[in-house]
Amino acid sequence: MLNEDSLKQRETSIANILHKSIKLFRRVGNYELAEKWSKILKNYYTKKEHKH
C-alpha cells in the first residue's frame, strides 16, 4: 500500500506526463488529442481540489 508521500509523488508524476504529452501533441499538430488530454488534466485537478 502506498503511503501519503508516495501517492503524492505518483500523482505529480502522472500530471507531469499529461502536461508533456499535451505539449507534444500540440507540437506535432494533433490538436484534437491535445484538447482531449487537456480536459482530462483539468478534470483531474478539479476533482483533486474538491477532495481537500
Q: What is the 3-state secondary structure (H, E, C) of 20-37?
A: HHHHHHHHCCCHHHHHHH
Widest CA span in the chain: 40
pLDDT of residue 19: 94
pLDDT of residue 48: 77
CA distance 31 to 43: 18
> Which domain covers residue 28, as residue numbers?
4-50
pLDDT of residue 52: 60
CA distance 46 to 52: 11
pLDDT of residue 7: 85
pLDDT in tens, 6-39: 888 998 898 899 999 999 999 999 999 999 999 9
Amino acid present at 34? A
Confidence band of 2 (pLDDT split at 50, 70, 90): confident
Number of domains within the chain: 1
